[in-house]
Amino acid sequence: MQDTSAAIASLKKQLGANLCIMGHHYQNDNVVRHCDITGDSLELARRVPGIDAAHIVFCGVYFMGESAALLAKPGQSVHLPSLDADCLMSRMTPAPLARKVLEQLAATGRKIIPLAYVNTDLALKAVVGEFGGAVCTSANARIMLRWALDQGDGVLFLPDRHLGNNTAETLGISQDERHVLRVGAAGLVQPETQPLDRKLLLWPGCCAIHARFEPDDVEAIRAEYPGCRVIAHPECRQEVIEACDGAGSTSYLIREAARVAAEEPGTTLIVGTENNLVYRLAERHAGQCRILPLGHAICGNMAKVTEKKLLATLQSVAAGAASPLHIEENLCPPARLSLTRMLEACGN
């Protein structure tokens, strides 16, 4: 392990300003310690346009690398240490199916604006850009949902119905103004029987890692640790988030852990999200407060990026033999539109 780590450090030195290693908060510690930039999805996307290095090595799942490649400067290359690290939720909205549904919704005579969680593939982002929509992350979903509501008669939020529902709650959009679409392989299932006139239409997707938390888990942990504080990622079900004391993006969870450690020492903080992040926070604030996971939650795809694979990527970059992430040229302009609409609406 030490050899791998030392070899990475030496290659980083050799590549110098030509290299920038980025990593998502869910990466394991052996990877995170080599990253020049870490962040949640929003922060990582925001940082890309400011990077001058010729090579960006992105430690995260595929859609994150694609977004980085989309926002990178001409001539810059993006490399993923593990090309098969793929967010399963990002595959729940195949672009042709989303297009079909958007056409069916347009046929009802209403202007429906698609708002896609950044956890989607490039082809989907392109469809969203084409239909006048934008991308959002868990950190800015509230701002972006308000933005999307102002652009038309209704919004199609995709693919995560839980993030959509949790965000709608914060904006006071009631349950009877929302509808989780019934979608089949050919488009909307019996559209005439669905309340398509609702303000917020939700794609029926979710993150299996976060959706497995139940309100009972929150109740049980509160009973086990009386007086504990419980926070979670908004990809959890609405009933779970309602049972929590706070919810937000991975960066929110990190900030909240630091706040509790500084202002409420001795507190037990329960965090409902991917466990790599929870264990890192527990270690960081050990001695100040106790941080525990709400339950078992490991994203197997994030875990596919290892220190060894990072080293192999850096070796091939240094040897000039790396094959950068290829993104389809024709999808770039509309997909970029959906990302830049987000960056502009959020003050970049």
For binding to ligand SF4 (CB under 6 A), which residues are involved? 61, 87-89, 119, 207, 209, 235, 274, 299, 301-302
Q: How far apart are CA 269 and CA 292, in angstroms?
A: 6
Judged by DSSP in three states, 197 sits in coil
225 exposed, middle or buried (CB, 10 Å; 0-12, 13-18, 19+)? Answer: middle
Report the residue number, 71 or 85, with the smaller CB distance to ligand SF4.
85
Residues 35-94 that bind ligand 13P (CB under 6 A): 40-41
Residue written as token pair 């914060």: 170
**40 interacts with, out of ligand SF4, ligand 13P, none, CB within 5 to 8 A per kind:** ligand 13P
> 51: closest CA among 20, 90, 85?
20
Residue with smaller CB distance to ligand 13P, 41 or 268? 41
Give least dist CB 88 to ligand SF4, A. Answer: 5
Beta strand extents in 199-251 (DSSP E only): 200-202, 229-232, 246-247
3-state secondary structure of 229: strand
Does 32 bind ligand 13P (CB under 6 A)? Our answer is: no
Instruction: Please answer whether residues 297 and 213 qualify as being in contact, where contact means their C-beta atoms are separated by less than 8 angstroms.
Output: yes
The stretch among 137-145, 222-230, 303-311, 321-329 that binds ligand 13P (CB under 6 A) is 137-145
Q: What is the rounded distance in angstroms from the CA atom of residue 180 to the CA atom of residue 165? A: 9
- Among 113, 119, 121, 132, smallest CA distance to 95 is for 121
| Residue that the structure tokens 């993104």 belong to | 327
The nearest distance, CB 226 to ligand SF4, in angstroms, is: 30
120 binds ligand 13P (CB under 6 A): no
From its phi and psi, is residue 172 left (phi > 0), alpha (psi between -120 and 50) or beta? left
Residues in Cβ contact with 41 at an 8 Å cutoff, skipping those fewer than 6 apart: 24, 64, 67, 118, 119, 137, 138, 139, 249
What is the smallest separation between the CB atom of 139 and ligand 13P, expressed in angstroms? 6
Which one of 94-102, 136-144, 284-292, 306-314 is the stretch in contact with ligand 13P (CB under 6 A)? 136-144
- Pair of tokens at residue 49: 């346009």
Pair of tokens at residue 7: 């070899």
R_g over Cα of the chain: 21
Residue 67 site contact among ligand 13P, ligand SF4, none (CB < 5 to 8 Å, cut-off depends on kind): none
- Check residue 140 for interaction with ligand 13P (CB under 6 A): no
* Contact flag: residue 250 with ligand 13P (CB under 6 A): yes
Smallest distance, ligand 13P to C-beta of residue 200, A: 20
Name the residue nearer to ligand SF4 (CB basis): 209 or 289. 209
The answer to whether the Cα torsion of 327, 345, 61, 132 is positive or negative is negative
Closest to ligand 13P by CB, 258 or 312: 258
Give me the half-sphere count of Cα atoms (radius 13 Å) on the Cβ side of residue 144: 32
Q: Which is nearer to ligand SF4, 147 or 213 (CB)?
A: 213
C-beta closer to ligand 13P: residue 233 or 237:
233
Binding span for ligand 13P by CB under 6 A among 73-81, 133-141, 182-190, 214-222? 133-141
Closest to ligand 13P by CB, 55 vs 162, is 162
**Cβ nearer to ligand SF4, comparing 15 with 163:** 163
- Binding to ligand 13P (CB under 6 A) within 219-248 occurs at 233, 235
- Amino acid found at 282: A
Binding partner of 301, given ligand SF4, ligand 13P, none, CB within 5-8 angstroms per partner class = ligand SF4
For ligand 13P, the binding residues (CB under 6 A) are 40-41, 119, 137-139, 207, 233, 235, 249-250
